[in-house]
Amino acid sequence: MADPRDEPSGADQGVVTTQPTTEATPPPVVPERGAPPPPTGVLGLLVREQSIIVPLVAVVAALLIGALLIRAQGVNPTYAYQTLFTYSFLTADGLQGTFEKMVPLILCGLAVVIPLRVGLFNIGAQGQLMAGAIAAAATAHAVREAPGVIIAVVAMVAGILFGAMWGSIAGALKATRGVHEVISTIMLNSIAAGLIDYLVNGPFKDPSSPYPASYSAPDASRFVPLGVVPIGLPIALVLAVLVAWMLRRTTLGFQFETIGRNRHAASYAGIKLSGMIVLAMAIAGGLAGLAGSVEYLEIDPYRYQDGIAGSLGFDGITIALLARSNPLGTIPAALLVGALRAGSSNLSFNTGLQPEIVDMLLAITLLLVSLPIIAKLIFRRHTAKSSALASSWGS
């Protein structure tokens, strides 16, 4: 590199150079105008690979902070983590549990990733998942006499449609009235919870159940795992690949991306913003709704009851941010989060730690990965302006 202030030669390394600065004038140039040289060596590697390094650092840091807290409770952190991950990955029950958790986590992660690409922050995967689960429960009961495969397909389609409808409400509010999607999706989460609470206490209540719950899925429609692999897992993996393909290779993905990167240019290019916003939220809601259906069909007790959704929808946000809004990145992110979730009760049993330690680890991870400030402190001026989407809310 002959002159650090030379022509922007780092273009294809993801370094945005606004204007090359003047070389002759002695007074210091205004800092934000400067075009720094593309970094080399270790820093350069960090900058180029930051989409992997930032989440890795966040996870490692969270585990270290978690270690301190575990130690404070008088438990050896090495032993605790060993117990946790040995169970989640190296025992048949644990591995199956990890995989079962992965399914809704991947789907909810995707439900956050797609809107992020359009510049929307979907907090509503939780409500969309619940909408999907209750729709699956209702339709499965309605067609309970049909063959198992039919029931399963009908339940999944219903979950997708109802989740999509739930998501598109927020999209339509945004597109037509400018209602901020964070607000509307949070409120729709509460509405979904209230509505479903009513349904499982009233019209959809299984009279044979001692507590409020829907009818259980007919035996024939229940997903039986293939060894330790639940049927939902291949479905989720295929969808992650499909979403990656959609965003990368299709005209639809191009429209989503263009809106997220420059709304004005998208409108100039003839992309119909409001339609695309509703569609993105509908697809997101559909994926979360499918997660709800699969939970219903795959997880004991095979019925909609309080707590079925857990915090899966909110974990989707962690997943999406850990994945740096990359659809394929949701897979390793979901593997990690799934392992933590699946191993938490075993950890508690063996060490006496509260299972909530896992929630805390996830919260710390989310905090670290979602603080774009951290990335900015490290990568200031080396970050492409428009890739802010990957490190922040994108709105």
Q: Which residue has the tokens 């209750």?
A: 134
Stretch that binds other proteins, among 47-55, 145-153, 259-267, 370-378 (CB under 8 A): 259-267
Rounded CA Rg of the chain: 23
Q: Does 311 bind other proteins (CB under 8 A)?
A: no
Task: Give the Cα separation of 165 and 283 in Å (integer).
Answer: 9
Of 25 and 208, the one with the shorter C-beta distance to other proteins is 25
Q: Does 19 bind other proteins (CB under 8 A)?
A: yes
* Beta partners for residue 305, in sequence order: 213
Of 183 and 265, the one with the shorter C-beta distance to other proteins is 265
Q: Token pair for residue 357? A: 């330690």
Q: Does 25 bind other proteins (CB under 8 A)?
A: yes
Q: Determine the residue type at 212.
A: P
Instruction: Report the candidate in 227, 356, 230 with the shortest Cα–Cα distance to residue 300.
Output: 230
Q: Does 17 bind other proteins (CB under 8 A)?
A: yes
Q: Does 33 bind other proteins (CB under 8 A)?
A: yes
Residues numbered 222-251 forming contacts with other proteins, rule: CB under 8 A: 249-251
Q: Does 268 bind other proteins (CB under 8 A)?
A: yes
Please, what is the Cα angle at 127 between 124 and 129, to 5 degrees? Answer: 105
Concatenated DSSP letters for 4-22?
TTSS---GGGT-----PPP
Among 2, 3, 27, 224, binds other proteins (CB under 8 A): 27
Supply φ then ψ for residue 9, to 5 degrees: -95, -5
Q: Which residue has the tokens 């109802």?
A: 162
Interface size with other proteins, residues (CB under 8 A): 41
Q: Does 208 bind other proteins (CB under 8 A)?
A: no
Q: Is 190 exposed, middle or buried (0-12, 13-18, 19+ CB in 10 A)?
A: exposed
Q: Are 208 and 77 in contact (CB under 8 A)?
A: no
Task: Give the Cα separation of 348 and 381 in Å (integer).
Answer: 44
Q: Are 139 and 154 in contact (CB under 8 A)?
A: yes
Please, what is the Cα angle at 383 between 382 and 388, to 5 degrees? Answer: 165
Stretch that binds other proteins, among 3-11, 132-140, 162-170, 342-350 (CB under 8 A): 3-11
Of 9 and 311, the one with the shorter C-beta distance to other proteins is 9
Among 126, 139, 258, 351, binds other proteins (CB under 8 A): 258
Among 1, 149, 242, 265, binds other proteins (CB under 8 A): 265
Among 177, 207, 227, 264, binds other proteins (CB under 8 A): 264
Q: Does 12 bind other proteins (CB under 8 A)?
A: yes
Q: Does 254 bind other proteins (CB under 8 A)?
A: yes
Q: Does 395 bind other proteins (CB under 8 A)?
A: no
Instruction: Report the candidate in 250, 311, 308, 253 with the shortest Cα–Cα distance to residue 113.
Output: 253
Q: Does 3 bind other proteins (CB under 8 A)?
A: no
Smallest distance from other proteins to CB 339, Å = 34
Among 28, 207, 227, 307, binds other proteins (CB under 8 A): 28
Residues numbered 371-390 forming contacts with other proteins, rule: CB under 8 A: 384-387
Query: Where on the chain is the footprint of other proteins (CB under 8 A)?
Result: 8-9, 11-12, 14-22, 25, 27-28, 30, 33, 35, 249-252, 254-255, 258, 261-262, 264-272, 384-387
